[in-house]
A and B are shown apart, each in its own frame.
Chain A
Amino acid sequence: MYAKVLVLRFPPEIVDKPIITNLVRSYNLTFNILKAQIFPRKEGLMVLELRGNKLDYDRGIEYLKRIGVRIEPIDQSIKRDDEACFQCGACTAVCPTGALYIKRPEMEVIFDSERCSGCEWCVKVCPAHAMTVTLSEAE
């Protein structure tokens, strides 16, 4: 089983096509939508976790690219400024996926961007403004 959180950006022409349904039907993949949004100029954005066996997964990605979907790994859109982060842990109260977690007993706050869903809770909660998410910007 292979699973990855991806940011998909849909150009306006295909934003209303049943793309995710096709992924499920033809490529045997399951998904979990973490965020979906359509911007004023009709580009679409979706953050989703895609699961399946590696072969199906690769073919699914191939399909998405072919029809014009831009695919970015989530860690391109969410960042922690490690200079600004002072390792308090406040963000772990709200992070729903465990992407921000505490390594014990050292009490080090780790950011594992692979587990991030782009919910942006940490951006508001971090007292030091160390977390930035650029997902919601149309490109």
Chain B
Amino acid sequence: MGVVKSYEEINEKIQQGKVVVITAEEMTQIVKDRGTKYAAQEVDIVTTGTFAPMCSSGAFVNFGHTQPPIKAHRVWLNDVPAYAGLAAVDFYIGATEPSVDDPLNKIHPGLFQYGGGHVIHDLVSGKPVRLKAEGYGTDCYPNRFVEKTVYLKDLPNAVLCNPRNAYQNYNCAVNLSSKTIYTYMGVLKPKLGNANYSTSGCLSPLLNDPYYKTIGLGTRIFLGGGVGYVVWHGTQHNPGVPRNEKGVPRAPAGTLMLLGDLKQMQPRWLVGVSILGYGCSLAVGVGIPIPILNEEMAYYTGVGDEDIVTQVKDYSFTETEPLGEVSYAELKRGVIKVMGKEVPTVPLSSYIRAKEIAESLKTWIKEGRFFLGKPQELLPCSTET
């Protein structure tokens, strides 16, 4: 066994300004050129990043007690309903909730101009947001209606809490039918008109630690432009899918539940989005530092686009079985072959922004502003299928 480093040792190096930190893209090259042994010796941390619409996102907010007090039973923010089935002035605003008067898909494909994701973006942008709350009135909370303008900075608490983010790998979507379809994977033109995919490949957080050996409860991360934490495995976390020889899952696998104080996040990294014919969502920036504790972690973080494969799936319900397997390197080149046909590929996840996240996290660590959070529990990882 070669080098072994501890979280404490790496954090000590950050403190002393001696830490060696590079992005996952740079690590791929180093491992390729110099091998895992050298990489493990030289590199302490590898930074990853991803930026894409992540529907399972939202924020817990407490808007402060009013005078006279209200037990908010229903809450709207800029006319977007929030879930208020919590204590008096707590609510959860979910990313995909459309505003009350949205025509939805009545005229298909619907535009979904404004929803929960946009509310979160507006809050983080420091914009005024109109809050309305209705109560049914109790002896202790007699107030039945509140309407006021709120700013993020004045809210007592606002916590981004996303039940499922950063999917470890995702399908590549195509359409075999004869009409255009509008999906959460974007517009899919008929008869294999295009193939859409959403992952940042070699920069993707969970693809750099495929067996979750360093990621778990308490891992400190880049979240929405600020600092956040992994607090649990995400919903639908499914580590048991088939994997290739490098441990990379061939289909959607692990997921993360993430949390962080909304007040220190930035609008550039939490963007409300409208997905034509599908709905509203929130594009979330996530970056995870992977400590190179040993040679094994150098091996995993050395993963390249050609090592990452995913399944091509028909989203028109014409064919249920996968239509084939493609590598991320092929997807990134712009054309894949499906059923003998050349199909142009379309990314939905921003590689440019993913790279920017990995670079920012690198800078934070280099400047001694960000330390590793040692996980208290690792994510579940039973890999037998």
Contact = CB atoms under 8 A, between A and B. Distances in A.
Interface in A82-131: 86-90, 92-94, 102, 104-109, 124-125, 127-129
Nearest to B51: A86
Contacts, number: 65
B276 interface: yes
Contacts of B332: 104-105, 107
Contact of A108 (B196, B334, B352): B352
Given A88-B52, A108-B352, A129 B186 contact: no
22 contacts: A86-B51, A86-B271, A86-B353, A87-B350, A87-B351, A87-B352, A88-B283, A88-B347, A88-B350, A89-B347, A90-B348, A93-B186, A93-B187, A93-B188, A94-B189, A107-B332, A107-B352, A109-B352, A125-B186, A127-B273, A127-B281, A127-B283
B352 A106 contact: yes
Contacts of B349: 88
B96 to A, nearest CB: 13
A36 to B, nearest CB: 23
A92 B346 contact: yes
Contacts of B14: none
Q: Which of B109, B188, B334 neighbours the largest number of chain A CB atoms within 10 Å of its CB?
A: B334
Contacts of A106: 352
Interface string B250-290: 00000000000000000000010111100001010000000
A90 B186 contact: yes
B248 to A, nearest CB: 20
Contacts of A128: 271, 273, 283
Contacts of B276: 124-125
**10 closest A-B pairs by CB:** A127-B273, A107-B351, A87-B352, A89-B347, A93-B346, A87-B350, A88-B350, A93-B194, A90-B186, A93-B187
